[in-house]
């Protein structure tokens, strides 16, 4: 593949947050605008749900510490890794060694890139869930790996995430070297059941597949559902990298912090690569991780309740729109409704929605090419503004509904 082809494929125009760069004809002229408070569902609103209390104070303390905090090891400050390893061990019910098995990265995006580039290279096969986070496909594509898609029957099946186990095993049988999945799933918000997680462990061991589990939203579980950490199963620990970070529920995205833990061999590769990609997570910013998993009493519980309430209201709004299919979010802040057939493409609909109704969402096609009728919303937003915005989505669906 030439570089030109590679970069043509690697689009960002529809990526969340990049909508501002879209150029084109004056879309406003194609329809009347629907008034309302603009809502950007492409990512969470850290003004509506601010960062963990005292984050800034911790950052300031990092600056006060000075040189030692500015220039940490590439894998991050030893003291902070030690603290985090203990907390993450408790959270996951495992035992993580801070010296060799954990790395701090610039956001979980950084961790994902480093993990993938440490495991797969040109020509390797990798099993990827559809739908799943868009970078899960874009990174392997950039690395020239071959993607074997594995379907999540999230709408058809309400037990577990709806993982197509026979497809997964077939991908492994075809020689997949790696398997990457997010749990809770982005964009659908479903949780993999114990049975599904156990099956992944069993198949990974059987076929010697290295797994990357992106657990970014695993602290924000609704309705007291069960959540199974893959790292706590029978999976060979030499074959698993777990990724997690404080950018979502904890609203620390502006600090760009992520964590990966796994076998020392792979963590070392990730560090070597980080040394030439970005050196390290910003030194002072690392300090903010001290607060993570140590939030004020009741703070996380309240945050989860608040999000569950928004979810309930938005679900109700979406279910009022004729022809919408949507599954209730089980964890995390995403909704992934499937809209009825429209007279415009989903990318075009998203552009129109933004320009005519002040509502920014991400087209489903970012998560898998089959999702031509779906949109993703991050509902970590001002509660009332979000409800009004979904009503405007309903009005826009009527405006562009295809007559059957």
**Cα 140 off chain centre by:** 16
Compute CA distances 115 → 92, 252, 358, whole Å: 19, 21, 37
Buried b / exposed e over 162-175, threshold 16 CB at 10 Å, is: bbbeebbbebbeee
- Taking the complex as a whole, how short is the minimal distance between the CB of residue 268 and a copy of itself, in angstroms? 8
DSSP-derived 3-state class of residue 333: coil
- Taking the complex as a whole, how short is the minimal distance between the CB of residue 71 and a copy of itself, in angstroms? 5
Distance CA(253)–CA(285), nearest Å, equals 11
The site for a copy of itself (CB under 8 A) is made up of 2-3, 6-7, 10-12, 15, 17-18, 20-21, 43, 45-47, 50, 56, 59-60, 62-63, 66-67, 69-74, 78, 106-107, 109-110, 113, 118-122, 135, 138-139, 142, 253-256, 268-269, 271-273, 275-285
Q: Which is nearer to a copy of itself, 255 or 292 (CB)?
A: 255
Q: How many helices (H) and strands (E) would you count in the chain?
A: 13, 12
Q: Which is nearer to a copy of itself, 343 or 384 (CB)?
A: 384
- Taking the complex as a whole, how short is the minimal distance between the CB of residue 375 and a copy of itself, in angstroms? 19
**Two structure tokens written together for 57:** 């104070």
**Two structure tokens written together for 323:** 């022809």
Three-point CA angle 194, 200, 201, nearest 5°: 90
Spell out the alpha helix ranges (H) of 160-227: 165-173, 194-207
Q: Which is nearer to a copy of itself, 20 or 226 (CB)?
A: 20
Residue written as token pair 């993580």: 96
- Taking the complex as a whole, how short is the minimal distance between the CB of residue 83 and a copy of itself, in angstroms? 18
246 close to 50: Cβ distance less than 8 angstroms: no
Q: Which is nearer to a copy of itself, 201 or 359 (CB)?
A: 359
Distance CA(394)–CA(398), nearest Å, equals 6
- Taking the complex as a whole, how short is the minimal distance between the CB of residue 221 and a copy of itself, in angstroms? 24
Q: Which is nearer to a copy of itself, 118 or 193 (CB)?
A: 118
Q: Which is nearer to a copy of itself, 120 or 342 (CB)?
A: 120
**Cα 169 off chain centre by:** 24
- Taking the complex as a whole, how short is the minimal distance between the CB of residue 233 and a copy of itself, in angstroms? 26
- Taking the complex as a whole, how short is the minimal distance between the CB of residue 253 and a copy of itself, in angstroms? 5
Q: Which is nearer to a copy of itself, 327 or 354 (CB)?
A: 354
Phi, psi of 26 (to 5 degrees): -70, 100
- Taking the complex as a whole, how short is the minimal distance between the CB of residue 391 and a copy of itself, in angstroms? 22
258 close to 247: Cβ distance less than 8 angstroms: yes
Q: Which is nearer to a copy of itself, 277 or 328 (CB)?
A: 277
Residue 166: HSE in the Cβ half-sphere, 13 Å Cα cutoff: 1
What's the 3-state SS for 40-87? ECCCCCCCCCCCCCCHHHHHHHHHHHCHHHHCCCCCCCHHHHHHHHHH
- Taking the complex as a whole, how short is the minimal distance between the CB of residue 122 and a copy of itself, in angstroms? 7
Q: Which is nearer to a copy of itself, 59 or 261 (CB)?
A: 59
R_g over Cα of the chain: 21
- Taking the complex as a whole, how short is the minimal distance between the CB of residue 341 and a copy of itself, in angstroms? 30
Distance CA(144)–CA(74), nearest Å, equals 26
Q: Which is nearer to a copy of itself, 129 or 197 (CB)?
A: 129
């Amino acid at each position: 593949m030439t570089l030109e082809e590679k970069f043509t494929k690697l689009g960002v125009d529809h990526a969340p947050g990049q909508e501002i760069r879209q150029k084109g004809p004056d879309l406003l002229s194609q329809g009347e605008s629907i008034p309302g408070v603009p809502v950007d569902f492409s990512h969470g609103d850290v003004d509506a749900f601010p960062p963990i209390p005292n984050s800034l104070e911790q950052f300031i303390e990092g600056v006060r510490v000075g040189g030692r905090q500015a220039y940490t090891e590439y894998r991050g400050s030893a003291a902070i890794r030690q603290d985090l390893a203990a907390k993450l061990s408790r959270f996951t019910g495992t035992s993580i060694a801070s010296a060799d098995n954990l790395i701090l990265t610039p956001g979980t995006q950084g961790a994902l890139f480093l993990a993938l580039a440490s495991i797969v290279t040109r020509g390797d096969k990798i099993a990827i869930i559809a739908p799943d986070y868009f970078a899960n496909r874009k990174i392997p594509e950039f690395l020239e790996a071959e993607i074997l898609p594995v379907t999540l029957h999230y709408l058809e099946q309400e037990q577990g995430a709806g993982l197509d186990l026979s497809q997964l095993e077939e991908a492994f049988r075809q020689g997949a070297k790696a398997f990457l999945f997010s749990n809770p799933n982005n964009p659908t918000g479903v949780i993999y059941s114990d049975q599904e997680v156990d099956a992944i462990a069993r198949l990974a061991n059987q076929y010697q597949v290295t797994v990357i589990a992106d657990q970014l939203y695993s602290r924000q579980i609704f309705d007291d559902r069960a959540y199974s950490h893959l790292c706590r199963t029978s999976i060979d620990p030499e074959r698993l990298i777990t990724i997690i970070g404080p950018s979502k529920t904890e609203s620390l995205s502006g600090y760009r912090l992520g964590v990966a833990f796994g076998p020392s061999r792979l963590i070392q590769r990730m560090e070597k690569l980080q040394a030439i990609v970005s050196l390290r997570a910003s030194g002072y910013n690392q300090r903010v991780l001290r607060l993570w998993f140590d939030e004020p009493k009741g703070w996380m519980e309240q945050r989860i309740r608040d999000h569950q309430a928004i979810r309930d209201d938005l679900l109700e709004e979406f279910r009022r729109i004729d022809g919408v299919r949507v599954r209730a979010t089980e964890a995390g802040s995403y909704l992934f409704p499937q809209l009825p057939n429209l007279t415009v493409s989903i990318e075009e609909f998203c552009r129109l929605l933004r320009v005519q109704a002040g509502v920014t969402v991400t087209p489903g096609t970012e998560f898998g090419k089959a999702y031509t009728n779906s949109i993703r919303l991050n509902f970590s937003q001002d509660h009332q503004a979000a409800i009004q915005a979904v009503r405007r989505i309903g009005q826009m669906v009527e405006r562009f509904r295809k007559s059957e």
